Chains A and B, each alone.
Chain A
C-alpha cells in the first residue's frame, strides 16, 4: 500500500508545471540530438549538465532522462532516411528501414518505429515500476562467463542477419572482430595493431565505423549510381502506417518489448544485443525470411521496440543498485552526485519522490514523444524530396562534423572517410556492412569476457557449464545454431516423401526456394 502511495506521489511530482516543462525540453533536445549523427546523448548531457545545477534534483534528472530516451526516437530517423545509424542499437534498423525508405515507404517505417518505441518504452516503464527490485539482481548475476555466452549468442545472431552471400557475411563479421582488437590490450597493456598511434590506443570508436560503412559508403556509392540509373524519386506514399502495417508489426512489437526490457538491464551492450535478438527472432519466425533486408516492416518494428525498451530498463541498475549501465547513465550518476544525492541501493527508500518522479516522468515523456513524432514524421520524410545532388553534400558534412564532436578528434573524422571508402568498396564487391559493424561492437565484449572467464576458471572451459545462466545461454546457442540444420535436413527428407500432407510440402517448397536463392547469390 505504501509503495502505491509513493507511485501516486511520484505522479504529483511529475505534474508540477516546472517538471513537465523540463520533461518536454529534455525530450525535444533528445530528439534533435538523435537526428544529428555523432553527437550522442552522453555528449549532450555533458554539455547541458551545468544547466541543471540550479534546479531541483528530480527536475534535473527528469530532463536528462528525457534527453536520453528522446535521442533513441531521433536516432531512428537518420537510420531510416539516410542510412546513418547513430548508435550500436540502431544498426539493425538500417537494414530494413532504409530499404523501406527507398521504396517510398519511409513514413511507414518511421511511423511503425515511433509506435513501437512508444509501446516498448511504456512496457519497460511498467516493468520498471513493478519489477525493478526483483530484476535488478539479474544485472549482478551476469559475470564474465555469462557475458561470454551472451556475446557468442550475439555473434551467432550476426550471421543470421545477413541477407545475401553467407560466406561473405562471415568474412565481414570476422574482420569486424579483428578490428575490435585494435588498441591497448586491457589485460597486458600491449599495443595491438596501433602502429604507435596514440589515437588508436583505446581502439577505434564504434560511431565512425558505423557512420563510414553505412552512411558515407552509401553516399559515395550514390554519387556513382545516380548517373547510371535515372530513377524517379520514389513517390512518398503512406506517410502514416496503415492498419495493416500496424497489425503486421504487433507481434514484433510485443516480442521486442520483452526482449528489450530484460536484456536492457545488463550493463554494457544489453541494448545492442536486444535489438539484434529482436531482429533475428522476427526473421526466424517469418514465413518468408528472404523479405528481410529488403524492406520487411517487422525488421524495423522489432529492433526499434527492443532498443527503446532497453534504454528504459537500463535505468534499473542505476536507480536500484547505483550501477551505471552505460556512459549516459554514468553522467546521470554524476549529475545526482553534484546534487548531493548518491545513487545506490538506498535511493528508493531515501528519496522515493526522486525515484518515482523520474520513473513516472518517463510515461509522460513517451507520450510527448509519440505526439511529437506524428507531425515530425511528415516533416522528416520530406527530406527525401530534396534533390540528391543537394542532399548528398549536406549529409556528408553533417556526418563529418558530427564525427568530430564524438571525441573532439580529427582522427575520428579521418576514420569516417576511410571507412566510407571501405563501405563503398564492400558494396561494389558484394559484402554487407551490417555483420562487420555488429561483430565489431560485440568483439571486445566477447574477447574480454572470455579472457576474464579463463582467468577466473584457471584456463578450464568446464566452468562455463557449471554456472546456471551461462550454461543455459550456451544451450540456447547450440539450439539456435543446430536447429536450422536439423530442420532443413528433415524438410529435405519430407520433400522427397510424397505421402506428406500438402501444407508441409508447401512450406518446405517455399523454404527451399529461399535457400536456392541464397545459394545462387553465393
Chain B
C-alpha cells in the first residue's frame, strides 16, 4: 500500500447493506474497489487508479501491449494503472463489462480489431460486439499475419502451394480469427482447395506447422519470427497491405494479386460518454506512453508495427474493414462458422 499514488480521501458515504444483520453502516471509504462513484468525474481526473481490462489471458501479445502502455500511462497520470485480465468469449465478455461501467475515465479496455471486424462473421448476431457502446481513444499498433509452410512440406513460394491444391491441410488459430479469414479468402481467390484445422490459439497452430502436422498455417509474426529465423518454417506470404518491416523479403498477398489485407490492430477504448476534458487527458497520457523509449523498444522487440492513429480514425478504419470482410466472405461464399 506504499506506492499507491496520492489518493484523495473520498467523501463519507452512507451505504445500505442488504440483510437484517446490519441496517446501515457509515463508512469512510478509503480504497475499496466496489461501487465506484461517477460523481468525481470531470473535476480533477484522475481521482484513483485507472484500470485497463484485457479480454485475453495474461502473457499473450494483447496482454503485453496493455502492460507496456499501462506503464507509460501510470507515469504520466501519476496514478497506478493496473491491468486486469478478464478472458472469455474472445474478449467479448471484457468488452461488454467495460462498456457497462461508468464513463469516468477510470475504466479502459484494450481492444483487438478482430473482435469487431472478424468475429461477428462467425458468431450469432446477439454476441457480436460493435463499437457503438465504446469510445475509442487511440490506435496503438499492427501485428501482421504470415502464411507459413512447414520445412517438410517442400513449399518455398505460394505457387508451390497452389500446385498442391486438393490435399492441403492448413492450421488456423481458431474460429473467427484473422488467421482463419485470411486463409479462407486467400485460398478461395487462388482456387486452392484445402481443409482448415482450427487450433486453440497461435502457439499450438505454430507448433503444428513446425512439426509438419499441417502443411501450412497462418499466425501472427511476433510468435513465428524465431521459428522463421531458425528455418523451421518458411514464410510464404504476409497479409499486411504493405511489406512488413521485419520481413522485407516476403511478398504480401496483395502484391501477388489477392485482395486480402488482414492484420491484427489494437486500440484503447473507454465506455461511451466520457467528459471531454477526461478524454483529452487520457489521450494525452496515451500519447506520452507511446512516445517513451521503453515502449518504442517494446514494439521493436515484439515485431509490432506502430499504427498510432486517433480514435476517430480507428473507428472509421475498423468499420470499413468489417464491411470489406463481410463483402469478401459473401462474394466467395465463405462461412467462418463451418470450419
Q: Is the CB of A407 within 8 A of B88?
A: yes
The reply on B334 being an interface residue by CB < 8 A is: no
Which of B59, B90, B93, B207 counts the most chain A CB atoms within 10 A? B59
The reply on A333 being an interface residue by CB < 8 A is: yes
CB < 8 Å neighbour of A189 from B71, B176, B206, B210: B176
Contact flags (1/0) for B153-183 with A, using CB distance below 8 Å?
0000000000000000100001110000000
The reply on B245 being an interface residue by CB < 8 A is: no
The reply on A458 being an interface residue by CB < 8 A is: yes
Q: Is the CB of A143 within 8 A of B208?
A: yes
Complex Cα–Cα for A104 and B216 (A): 57
* Given A42-B59, A345-B226, A455-B195, A186:B89 Cβ within 8 A: no
- Residues of B near A143 (CB, < 8 A) are 208, 211, 213
The reply on B258 being an interface residue by CB < 8 A is: no
Q: Is the CB of A338 within 8 A of B64?
A: yes
CB < 8 Å neighbour of A344 from B64, B90, B230: B230
Q: Is the CB of A456 within 8 A of B197?
A: yes
- Residues of B near A141 (CB, < 8 A) are 211
The reply on B2 being an interface residue by CB < 8 A is: no
Contact flags (1/0) for B191-205 with A, using CB distance below 8 Å?
000011111100110
Q: Is the CB of B86 within 8 A of A186?
A: no
Complex Cα–Cα for A485 and B157 (A): 55
Chain A: interface size category: 35 or more
Distance from B98 Cβ to chain A, minimum over Cβ atoms (Å): 12
Of the stretches A118-126, A319-327, A386-394, the one at the interface is: A319-327
Chain B: interface size category: 35 or more
Q: Is the CB of B208 within 8 A of A345?
A: no
* Given A186-B200, A187-B198, A343:B226 Cβ within 8 A: yes
CB < 8 Å neighbour of A456 from B90, B169, B298, B302: B169
Complex Cα–Cα for A141 and B150 (A): 13
CB < 8 Å neighbour of A408 from B84, B124, B230: B84
The reply on B319 being an interface residue by CB < 8 A is: no
Q: Is the CB of B57 within 8 A of A346?
A: no
Q: Is the CB of A338 within 8 A of B203?
A: no
Q: Is the CB of A144 within 8 A of B213?
A: yes
- Residues of A near B278 (CB, < 8 A) are none
Q: Is the CB of A42 within 8 A of B58?
A: yes
- Residues of B near A342 (CB, < 8 A) are 225-226, 301
Complex Cα–Cα for A177 and B337 (A): 23
Which residue in chain B gives the minimum CB-CB distance to A185?
B175
Q: Is the CB of A46 within 8 A of B58?
A: yes
Q: Is the CB of B63 within 8 A of A334?
A: yes
CB < 8 Å neighbour of B336 from A189, A322, A409, A456: A189
The reply on B112 being an interface residue by CB < 8 A is: no
Q: Which 8 A-B pairs have the closest CB atoms?
A: A344-B226, A140-B211, A143-B213, A46-B58, A201-B89, A331-B59, A345-B230, A330-B59
Residues on A lying within 8 angstroms of B by beta carbon are 42-43, 45-46, 49-50, 139-144, 184-191, 196, 198-199, 201-202, 267-268, 321-324, 327, 330-331, 333-334, 337-338, 340, 342-346, 407-409, 448, 452, 455-456, 458
Residues on B lying within 8 angstroms of A by beta carbon are 57-60, 63-64, 67-68, 71, 84-90, 92-93, 96, 122-124, 126-127, 169, 174-176, 195-200, 203-204, 206-208, 210-214, 222, 225-227, 229-230, 232, 297-298, 301-302, 336-339
Can you list 5 A-B pairs with a CB-CB distance of less than 8 A?
A45-B58, A139-B211, A187-B339, A201-B89, A331-B59
